Chain A
Amino acid sequence: MIIGRIEEAKPGLVLDHHAFRGDSTAVALPERLLELAAFLFEEGFQQLLDVTAVDWYERDPRFDVVYHFLNLTTQDRLRVKIRLREGQAAPSLTGRFHSADWSEREVFDLFGIPFTGHPNLERLLMWRDFPGHPLRKDFPLDGGDAFCTGDTGTSYAGRPCSMEL
Chain B
Amino acid sequence: MAEIWVFCEETDGAPSTLGLELLAKARSLGEPTVLYAGAGSAQAWETLGDHGAATVLHFDHGDSLAAAPVAAAIAARAGEQAPGMILFGQAYTDRDVAGRLAVRLGLPVLSNAVDVSLESDGTATTRHEISGGAEIAVAAFQAPRPHLAIVRPKSFPAEPVGGSTPEVVAVEIPDVGGAGAVVTERHARERQGPDLEEAAVIVSGGRGLGGAEHYSMVESLAAPLGAATGATRAIVDAGWVPYAKQVGQTGKTVKPDVYIACGISGAMQHLVGMKDAKTIIAINKDPDAPIFTIADLGIVGDVHKVMPKLIEELGGG
Q: Do chains A and B stick together as partners?
A: no
